[in-house]
Structure 1
Amino acid sequence: MSKSPRKAAEEDLLLASEVVTYGGSSEAALEERLQSSEQSEQALEASSSSQNNGEHNESILSIPGLFGIESALFLGIFLGSFDGTVTSSSYPTIANEFKAVDLGSMITVSYLITVCSFQSLYGSFSDVFGRRYCLFFANVVFLVGLCGCSVAKSMNSLFLWRAITGIGGAGLITLTTIVNSDIVPRSKRGLFQGIQNVFMSLGNIAGASLGGFICDRFGWRYCFIVQVPVTILATILAYLFVKDQDMSSYTGRKLERVDISGSFLLVIGLAVQLSSLYASTLFRFAIGFGVSALVLSAFLYNEYLDYVSRDIHHKISIIPFETLKGGSIKLLLTAAGLAGFVNFSYLFILPLLFQVEVGDSATKAGFRLAIPATFTAVGSFINGYAMNRNVDNLVILLPLGLAIVLIGNSLALLIGHQTPSWLIDLLLTPTNLGLGLCYPALLFSFVFQFPQNMHATSTTTLFLFRSIGQVWGVAASSSVISNVLKIHATKALKNLGGLSLEEVKTIVQNSLKSLSYVNESLHGEVKVAVKESYSYAIRAAQLFTVVVCAVALAVCFIRLIMKRTNPAIRF
């Protein structure tokens, strides 16, 4: 739990007695703040009950400009999600054009790295500059990145433009939740988060399923061009309808008080960690670099935590130290990271599973995700309905959602080349339903631990941990599949006989780069051996994901046990 206003003021008073003054603030001024904080805290406690009762009777239609605001927000979150997956099925085509197949997946990862690294900045910066201008900025940067991607002349320039696009995409995704936390009553937020998750899921699935189709019909550059007019519309709507939050609770929050040094430490640490993590999965020679970079990122994280834990800077931290304190809060952040890991690992593995086991094309494999994805929306609406009935239902919704995700990931292990399409849809449904339940439950269980004026920074804190888990999920699954395939295929090909060590090595390396090589260039028992190795590697990655999901569920049960012994933990 965060510090109460009185406790924070008492600590400031103690500091004043030791230092006498700081920046013109005297002991008398701090005592005045202590009395004011105590009165504020009492007023909050007195109004809490009546506010909760009143929220249920408040009509969301009374929110000024609601349709325009939500149109801008939901278009933005659709675009941010669409762009995060549109290259997952189109990157082989793009990489072939630039003759860099082994670097193709970095087209997607370069976007995800900056999304993850910059999400945490938007909370504090929108507290300073206001939601409207930060959302407008995010839309403009996203638009510039898309235009750059559509005219990129080399792989390196495409990586750069994808990273720039990710800076904007981070704001589109994060500020949607933050703006709604400003204007939507607490009891109604589950409903709005459910609608938000629908657009996020539609964006993820549309990107994954349409990327290959757009490449085949129009060329890969149109994967970015088609987003431009929609982004322009979202930008105009955001500028016209989204207003700044009530700034009275952010008194004194000026630009000079933003924690630039802490922001730099955190963003650099994240970028170093995530880049090195993925680089080490691509190149054997990069393993040493990856380990060194991870050590460096750990050092930067430690420096950041030490920096924000010392309450002497009087700066607005992008991740307030209060959002990292307490066993219950740490468990929620851990669960968020693990849930993000499971989600993106699942999305990464499935298209490969469909191509190898079922024999789908890349486009058809993407389309297979569309029908089950609708159940993410069903789960989100169930979550919203349950929260609208009683916010305390969050206690049940989180472990229930993760348990369903665990069941769904286990059922996905049953998919094989003889599995009919209707049964594949059925087996994929539980995971999507569970994600629709647990994602908003995680968000609100965390955010509701803090006062209203910390909802923006607490939202970005949770999104940060979830995004880190997502990038780790893609990288870890890719690493498991690559390494298991390499070991298993090498052994299988050697056992066939008739192939030299050099031929075995060439076949394995080419198989790692492209499924088209396996399907079109290999024949007979060699092709069978490689495809069986692929299946074995995919199953290994699926099992690993199941284990991670089980750990996430265990974390939630540990938190439930803590809640029984600590009544202060509400959700």
Structure 2
Amino acid sequence: MAQTESGSFQAEWNDPGLTHRQVRLTLIGVMFAMFLASLDQTIVATAIPRIMADLDGFDRVTWVSSAYIVASTSVVLITGAVSDVYGRKWLFVGGISIFLIGSVLAASSQSMNALIIFRGIQGLGGGMIMALSFVTIGDLFPPAERAKYQGIIAAMFGISSVLGPTLGGVITDQFSWEWIFLVNIPLGIPIILLFIRLFPNAKKGGPKRKIDAGGAVLIVMAIVPALLGLSWGGNQYEWSHPVVLGSLAFGAFMVVIFALYETRVADPILPLAVFKNRVVGIALFVILLTGFAMFGGIFFVPLLFQGVLGASPTASGSFLTPMMLGIVFGAAISGQVLSRTGGHYRVQGILGLSIMGLGTFMLSRVSAETTHSYALISAVVMGFGLGTSFPLYTIAIQNGVPQQFLGIATSSAQFFRSVGGAIGLAVFGSYMVRRFKDGMTQNLPSEASEYVPPQLLDQITGNPNALLSPEASDNLT
């Protein structure tokens, strides 16, 4: 059933019986759907400082992305399970529609709390899009051909990510941050029309399974409290505060309940058969780690360039572009190499993780005295290492499970990546806020009181959000 290290493909594949035209148009639709969802993940990155200045929510800023990730994580598994039974078409259409509704609402936000809620609605649609994009490749192509097409989909993610930060910076500088959400509308409506007209609605073969709604509820009850605890720790509350400890403990408790429940239902949302394959288990664990690094890099690199190196939103978007280009080339090269060599996962996996680790270490050394060229090279190295992982581990999972579990298995990959990303954002965000506040208190020159109004000085030391305001920056320069 699984693809071996020696390269022999043994995974199942049920030919969907589509014409060449249907396959081609379906692939094009999936590519643009992935473009839409992934563009919104990164277009926000360079607008975050301006959003914080307008909505005054420094301590909750990571939830602008975390809300999206938590919501998408909560829906991705059930999307995969439902699509295995009822097909992909109308789930795709519904996911894009929900995403667009969330975009309009996010653009109308008048507070940070409202923006977080509406980003959650976007996340529900985005999670459906992400899950179904990767699953559909497993439907359209046999195991030996999946790697290069998964590489294309992953590269599509990278291309939109390349455009996202720069586009977000330009829109924020020239218009306002609200338009980074409204730009989704002219992109999404044509995709909906294309899917309604041309996307095949072939239902999946094999035994029919019930939808494990109970498992979906339990996993959400485990994820949300844990992420709230991670976000609150070091921000609203100390890590030792009962609210933080209670949230983390309840999340861990619900994970245990979820695991026990899944062993007792006939059609679990996370079938144990998926994890019995050693390659699949290792792949999911690595995907969790790469999600941790990926979302942390995409979200905090623009803050690094703006807050540490003094770049504008537009410039910070341009600086993030090389990192995303590294992801594009890493994904494309990895997919092609995997397809030609027949699936030597171990060598490619070790090499990719080593490159990603090197880039992450290089970025950790960036300071106010660091040259822009060093920071750019560090981002490229990290991006290339991340890119190599995108097609690699998805293919390992798809080629390691029966066709009847293709949707839920592929969705599991997206689930673990999202969980890793949510944890990464919470951990990095908590650390950033703590270090930012402590650093401002300790390192602000004593002479500052002679040049900075007392009220603004109190804002800077008590609320670093003030430094991200354009007016504050002008007063300090």
Query: Under a length normalisation based on structure 1, what TM-score does the superposition of the two structures give?
Result: 0.74
Higher relative contact order (CA 8 A, sep 6+): 2
Alpha-carbon separation, structure 2, partners of 1:466 and 1:490: 36
Residue among 210, 213, 219 paired with 2:170: 213
Secondary structure, in 3 states, of the residue corresponding to 1:291?
helix
Name whichever of 347-356 and 187-196 sits farther off: 347-356
1:160 shift after superposition: 2.4
**What letter corresponds to residue 208 of structure 2 in structure 1?**
G
Residue of structure 2 in register with 1:196 after alignment = 153
Alpha-carbon separation, structure 2, partners of 1:153 and 1:482: 23
Residues 1:291 and 2:248 are matched in the alignment: no
Instruction: Check conservation: 1:73, 1:238, Cα contact below 8 A.
Output: no
1:180 shift after superposition: 0.8
Check 1:155–1:353 CA distance in 2 against 1; reply closer, same or farther (3 A cut).
closer
1:90 shift after superposition: 1.9
Residue of structure 1 in register with 2:78 after alignment = 121
Residue among 198, 208, 214 paired with 1:261: 214
Instruction: Check conservation: 2:222, 2:251, Cα contact below 8 A.
Output: yes
Residue among 150, 153, 161 paired with 2:118: 161
Residue of structure 2 in register with 1:568 after alignment = none
Residue of structure 2 in register with 1:252 after alignment = 208
Instruction: Check conservation: 1:90, 1:215, Cα contact below 8 A.
Output: yes
Residue of structure 1 in register with 2:38 after alignment = 81
Residue among 368, 373, 381 paired with 1:430: 381
Residue among 241, 246, 259 paired with 1:305: 259
Residues 1:375 and 2:375 are matched in the alignment: no
Percent identity over the alignment is 25
Instruction: Check conservation: 2:79, 2:128, Cα contact below 8 A.
Output: yes
Check 1:344–1:238 CA distance in 2 against 1; reply closer, same or farther (3 A cut).
same
Alpha-carbon separation, structure 2, partners of 1:326 and 1:70: 29
Instruction: Check conservation: 2:38, 2:160, Cα contact below 8 A.
Output: yes
Superposed counterparts of 1:12-51, under 5 Å: none
1:85 shift after superposition: 2.5
Check 1:198–1:328 CA distance in 2 against 1; reply closer, same or farther (3 A cut).
closer
**What letter corresponds to residue 27 of structure 2 in structure 1?**
E
Check 1:446–1:505 CA distance in 2 against 1; reply closer, same or farther (3 A cut).
farther
Instruction: Check conservation: 1:150, 1:224, Cα contact below 8 A.
Output: yes
Residues 206-257 of structure 1, C-alpha deviations (whole Å, 9 max, x = no match): 33222232123222222121110211111122222322345221x333xxx2
Check 1:416–1:150 CA distance in 2 against 1; reply closer, same or farther (3 A cut).
closer
1:308 shift after superposition: 0.9
Residues 1:510 and 2:463 are matched in the alignment: yes
1:322 shift after superposition: 2.3
Residues 1:399 and 2:355 are matched in the alignment: no
1:327 shift after superposition: 6.0
Instruction: Check conservation: 1:482, 1:512, Cα contact below 8 A.
Output: no
Residues 1:469 and 2:420 are matched in the alignment: yes
Residues 1:186 and 2:140 are matched in the alignment: no
Residue of structure 1 in register with 2:406 after alignment = 455
Secondary structure, in 3 states, of the residue corresponding to 1:89?
helix
1:74 shift after superposition: 1.3
1:173 shift after superposition: 0.9
Residue of structure 2 in register with 1:130 after alignment = 87
Name whichever of 363-372 and 98-107 sits farther off: 98-107
Instruction: Check conservation: 1:113, 1:275, Cα contact below 8 A.
Output: no
Larger Rg: 1
Instruction: Check conservation: 1:124, 1:317, Cα contact below 8 A.
Output: no
Query: Under a length normalisation based on structure 2, what TM-score does the superposition of the two structures give?
Result: 0.87
Residues 31-87 of structure 1, C-alpha deviations (whole Å, 9 max, x = no match): xxxxxxxxxxxxxxxxx97988x99xx9x9963423321221111111111112222
Instruction: Check conservation: 2:173, 2:313, Cα contact below 8 A.
Output: no
Check 1:275–1:477 CA distance in 2 against 1; reply closer, same or farther (3 A cut).
same
Residue of structure 2 in register with 1:42 after alignment = none
Check 1:438–1:506 CA distance in 2 against 1; reply closer, same or farther (3 A cut).
same
Name whichever of 165-174 and 386-395 sits farther off: 386-395
Alpha-carbon separation, structure 1, partners of 2:153 and 2:237: 40
Alpha-carbon separation, structure 2, partners of 1:147 and 1:337: 31
Residue of structure 2 in register with 1:550 after alignment = none
Residue of structure 2 in register with 1:385 after alignment = 336
> Which structure shows the higher helix fraction?
1
Residue segments in structure 1 that go unaligned for 5+ positions in a row:
3-47, 524-571
Instruction: Check conservation: 1:386, 1:393, Cα contact below 8 A.
Output: no
Superposed counterparts of 1:46-61, under 5 Å: none
Residue of structure 2 in register with 1:340 after alignment = 291
Alpha-carbon separation, structure 1, partners of 2:438 and 2:367: 22
Instruction: Check conservation: 2:86, 2:204, Cα contact below 8 A.
Output: no
Residue of structure 2 in register with 1:10 after alignment = none
Alpha-carbon separation, structure 1, partners of 2:464 and 2:9: 64
**What letter corresponds to residue 305 of structure 1 in structure 2?**
A
Secondary structure, in 3 states, of the residue corresponding to 1:384?
helix
Alpha-carbon separation, structure 2, partners of 1:176 and 1:464: 13
Instruction: Check conservation: 1:63, 1:183, Cα contact below 8 A.
Output: no
Alpha-carbon separation, structure 1, partners of 2:293 and 2:342: 26
Instruction: Check conservation: 2:226, 2:251, Cα contact below 8 A.
Output: yes
Alpha-carbon separation, structure 1, partners of 2:108 and 2:309: 36
1:200 shift after superposition: 0.9
Check 1:416–1:276 CA distance in 2 against 1; reply closer, same or farther (3 A cut).
closer
RMSD of aligned alpha carbons: 3.3
Check 1:102–1:212 CA distance in 2 against 1; reply closer, same or farther (3 A cut).
farther
Residue of structure 2 in register with 1:553 after alignment = none
Residue of structure 1 in register with 2:189 after alignment = 232
Instruction: Check conservation: 2:287, 2:413, Cα contact below 8 A.
Output: yes
Alpha-carbon separation, structure 2, partners of 1:502 and 1:225: 36
**What letter corresponds to residue 242 of structure 2 in structure 1?**
G
**What letter corresponds to residue 424 of structure 2 in structure 1?**
G
Residue of structure 2 in register with 1:542 after alignment = none
Name whichever of 431-440 and 488-497 sits farther off: 488-497
Residue among 258, 261, 279 paired with 2:232: 279
Residue among 117, 141, 147 paired with 2:98: 141
Alpha-carbon separation, structure 1, partners of 2:442 and 2:323: 37
1:105 shift after superposition: 3.8
Instruction: Check conservation: 2:80, 2:408, Cα contact below 8 A.
Output: yes
Residue among 180, 193, 205 paired with 1:223: 180
Secondary structure, in 3 states, of the residue corresponding to 1:179?
helix
Residues 1:483 and 2:421 are matched in the alignment: no
Residues 169-201 of structure 1, C-alpha deviations (whole Å, 9 max, x = no match): 001111011011001121221111111112212
Alpha-carbon separation, structure 2, partners of 1:423 and 1:144: 41
Secondary structure, in 3 states, of the residue corresponding to 1:449?
coil
Alpha-carbon separation, structure 1, partners of 2:441 and 2:55: 29
Residues 470-492 of structure 1, C-alpha deviations (whole Å, 9 max, x = no match): 11112211222222233343334
Residues 441-465 of structure 1, C-alpha deviations (whole Å, 9 max, x = no match): 1222233221122121111112111
1:416 shift after superposition: 5.2
Alpha-carbon separation, structure 1, partners of 2:110 and 2:307: 32
**What letter corresponds to residue 304 of structure 1 in structure 2?**
F
Instruction: Check conservation: 1:272, 1:294, Cα contact below 8 A.
Output: yes
